[in-house]
Structure 1
Amino acid sequence: MYAERVLSGMRPTGSLHLGHYHGVLKNWVRLQQEYPCLFFVADWHALTTQYDDPHGIVGAARDMVIDWLAAGVDPRRATLFVQSKVPEHAELHLLLSMMTPLGWLERVPTYKDQQERLEHKDLSTYGFLGYPLLQAADILIYRAGKVPVGEDQVPHIEFSREIARRFNHLYGREPGFEEKVSEALRRLGAKRARRYGELRTHYQERGEQAAIEAAQRLFDEVPDLSHADRERLCGHLEGTGKMILVEPGALLTAAARMPGLDGQKMSKSYGNTITLREDAASVTNKLRRMPTDPARVRRSDPGEPDNCPVWQLHQVYSDEDCRAWVQQGCRSAGIGCLECKQPVIDGILREQEPMRERAQPYLDDPRLVDEIIADGSGRARHLARETMREVRQAIGLDYA
């Protein structure tokens, strides 16, 4: 059940560009066809570095959600929500902060890197130090088994796993745990209980991860098995206690380096972007003005595609025949730079056309976006409340 749940979020930065589409959103569109997905606007995370100027966050969040919808993220398939509309994130963050060693936060690789990169900002705040823990709470509150990340973000997932492990170790041993496990096994029935015992042996003696997934499928065969009993049986299988918080797994995504207009990685900070819904005239103008191989001063000068930013875009948008045409034509001066750019212009406009069409209803009636956010946030909050109920019980804060 949880092993299949996917969670991913983005800080609200306003309108997204093609780098976001190729690096993240295309993957989201694919994942929503395969898994139950939750995609959220990380507006509290924006405050970790933007606390002194928060006024544009709401507008940026709405623009970003429209871009998600334009890219093909489907609210009928995935749950789209805003982090701050699910206050349970903050509650879990607070409770986890009580048991998280300070050294764990200080050793997060991006902590010092970000401080150096954003040295013009005062980041000597708890919010900035604690953002990896808030990120862990975002994941753990939905018991997400899969978090799509690149290689550089794997340490954040491992941090979340360590937090879940520590929490379960501290609070997972409920009174009468062994007796309750025995009761849960009786509910499985004799045949399934024997199979469960075999899977437990496979995991604890041989470390077979597949045994955990097989056990989850076994539990699915017993529709009246309570959520609490499932968690007890999972914890017993893994040799801990009741597994209250699920250790997430990193769903590694291939790095997609979308080149910008200057050949560097496309980024707002470089001023080299094309936004997802940018109008055709602006896109065409930007691409026509792109720098090319500096060796081609005149139309008759031969060039070298590897030295030209336009060639990088051809590798994203052109087929093999077109790329061969560019290679031969540039080196022989058989084509000019404007001719070379036209297939890229056509490819980008072709990619953007359905995005503009999908976005238009939401631009015409912004209430549709608000309804999607409200509906998704309500569904997300239902899941978060289930987790927090068990978290409070485990800690002993379940007041009658």
Structure 2
Amino acid sequence: MSTKIQSDKPEVILTGDRATGPLHLGHYVGSLKPRVALQSVHEQTILVADMQGLTDNAHNPSKVSSNILNVVADYLAVGIDPSKTTICLQSQIPTLAELTMYYSNLVTIARLERNPTVKSEIQSKGFERSIPAGFLTYPISQAADITAFNATLIPVGDDQLPMLEQTNEIVRKINSLAGETILNECKPLLSRASRLPSTDGKNKMSKTMGNTINLGATEKEIRAAVKSMYTDPNHLRVEDPGKIEGNVVFTYLDAFHPDEAYVSDLKEHYQRGGLGDGTTKKILEECLQELLAPIRKQRAEYLNDKEQLLDILRKGSEVSRAKAERVLHEVKGVFGLNLF
């Protein structure tokens, strides 16, 4: 399932990231590059989701607060322009929490527990029945974010489709209560890029598992990450034929090397034998060093001017509060709460 967008019909786009760590190459391929392309054509807001970051990090809140500016610096370093894209901070838009409260009265615990995305995350984090209430109600909070901006198009991975389905369920309930359409249903915009695997080839790419390459990674960190990448375990000698399926090095070459024909030749050479893992890793490292060097430089410069980053968040949050408050007024009216 995917949604194609037409450049002559601007959409209202909402996207964002939890502020639980600096962004990495998976974010770059899956969401950051598309956001840069979308911002010149559509009305785009990016939400730094610090409140949602606390849903499984409330015991360690500094993990969230210390990464807010890291995330903003990552945005700017890859080319997201605050004059074209509104960048705002979730905790500075109280309306989102209020909308979450109203919507929570329309969703059952059983429905939340059936959400495939929530079920998967609960299992991966080992919560069992010790689930923080904020984490369980994450889909409701996300619905509040989306509807507060009356967003029509949401860039997501396919694992997030159940979240958008639940958002649209809430939208339909609100519109039914209102007897008219006051909120938009949203459509997914799926990334054309395949999901980037972790460097170890075993786990989901995660900021906390150490199996990513951050956008601000140093030359040494990039070199070490590429050197440790999972390849074909049966490719023991250079002359042996190798498999490219599941070979993380070739997956990254497909994603980042600018010369597709060259990568295709590398694959054929590797498959027939005579091409060593050391050589392919060196090619990939050179590619990533070239890609990340300017991003790392820009990122460091932005982090050296934290007041500029804070100013971008202040201005973006002010604009976003005004938009969200208009939606909140409509939703409160549905429940008969606009008494004065």
**TM-score of the aligned structures, taking structure 1 as reference length:** 0.75
Q: CA deviation at 1:101?
A: 4.0
Distance 1:100 1:332 in 2: 56
Structure with bigger gyration radius? 1
**Alpha-carbon contact 2:46-2:85 (below 8 Å) kept:** yes
Aligned partner of 2:182 in structure 1 is: 244
Q: CA deviation at 1:295?
A: 3.9
**Alpha-carbon contact 1:19-1:267 (below 8 Å) kept:** no
Across the two proteins, how many residue pairs are aligned to each other? 329
Alignment partner of 1:109 out of 90, 109, 116: 116
Corresponding position: 1:379 with 2:322: no
Distance 2:41 2:304 in 1: 31
Distance 1:86 1:20 in 2: 24
Distance 1:25 1:348 in 2: 16
User: Residues 162 and 352 (structure 1 numbering): CA distance in 2 closer, same or farther, change over 3 Å?
Assistant: same
Map 1:58-69 onto structure 2 (within 5 A).
58-69=65-76
Corresponding position: 1:273 with 2:212: yes
Aligned partner of 2:329 in structure 1 is: 389
Q: CA deviation at 1:304?
A: 0.7
Distance 2:114 2:235 in 1: 49
User: Residues 247 and 278 (structure 1 numbering): CA distance in 2 closer, same or farther, change over 3 Å?
Assistant: same
Pick which of 366-375 and 333-342 moved more. Answer: 333-342
Amino acid of the structure 2 residue aligned with 1:306: I
In the alignment, structure 2 segments of 5+ residues that lack a partner are 1-8
Corresponding position: 1:4 with 2:18: no
In the alignment, structure 1 segments of 5+ residues that lack a partner are 174-240
Alignment partner of 1:283 out of 215, 222, 240: 222
Deviations 1:337-371 (A, max 9, x none): 33322221121112112312332331221111111
Secondary structure in structure 2 of the residue aligned to 1:268: coil
Aligned partner of 1:84 in structure 2 is: 91
Corresponding position: 1:119 with 2:126: yes
Aligned partner of 2:242 in structure 1 is: 304
Distance 2:231 2:10 in 1: 48
Amino acid of the structure 1 residue aligned with 2:98: E
Amino acid of the structure 1 residue aligned with 2:207: K
User: Residues 303 and 125 (structure 1 numbering): CA distance in 2 closer, same or farther, change over 3 Å?
Assistant: same
Identity of aligned residues (%): 34
Alignment RMSD (CA, Å)? 2.5
Map 1:207-246 onto structure 2 (within 5 A).
241=180, 243-246=181-184
**Alpha-carbon contact 1:108-1:156 (below 8 Å) kept:** yes
**TM-score of the aligned structures, taking structure 2 as reference length:** 0.87
Amino acid of the structure 1 residue aligned with 2:31: V
Alignment partner of 2:171 out of 164, 175, 180: 164
Q: CA deviation at 1:147?
A: 1.1
Amino acid of the structure 1 residue aligned with 2:226: L
Secondary structure in structure 2 of the residue aligned to 1:306: coil
Map 1:271-350 onto structure 2 (within 5 A).
271-299=210-238, 301-306=239-244, 308-318=247-257, 319-327=259-267, 329-330=269-270, 334-350=274-290
